[in-house]
């Protein structure tokens, strides 16, 4: 059997999410000052937020759950 602390008993680490072929991570987006509210958004490894056109010609960060 073994213990939970034995690395051989642990499963493989899960792979992160990808958006447009690039790996992304979750961040807290505080967009209340522009009317977007506060939610968990996706961010590329270089620090840029993942954005989509919001329909009015502007850009809005993509929600983490939408990926």
In a domain, 46, yes or no: yes
In a domain, 52, yes or no: yes
Quick one: which of 65, 58, 64, 67 has its CA closest to 35? 58
Q: How many CA atoms lie within 13 A of 42 on its CB side?
A: 18
In a domain, 5, yes or no: no
- Counting the structural domains of the chain, the total is 1
What is the mean predicted confidence (pLDDT) over 43-55? Answer: 92
3-state helix, strand, coil in the chain (%, to 5): 15, 40, 45
Longest dimension (CA), the chain: 59
- What's the predicted TM-score (pTM) here? 0.72
What is the mean predicted confidence (pLDDT) over 15-36? Answer: 91
Taking phi over 0 as left and psi of -120 to 50 as alpha, with beta for the rest, 21 belongs to left
In a domain, 3, yes or no: no
* pLDDT tops 80 at residue 65: yes
Q: What average pLDDT does the chain have?
A: 88
């Amino acid at each position: 059997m073994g213990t939970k602390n034995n690395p051989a008993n642990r499963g493989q680490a899960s792979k992160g999410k990808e958006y447009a072929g690039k790996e992304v991570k979750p961040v807290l987006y505080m967009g209340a000052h522009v009317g977007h509210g506060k939610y968990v958004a996706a961010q590329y490894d270089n620090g840029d937020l993942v954005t989509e056109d919001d329909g009015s010609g502007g850009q809005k960060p993509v929600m983490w759950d939408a990926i």
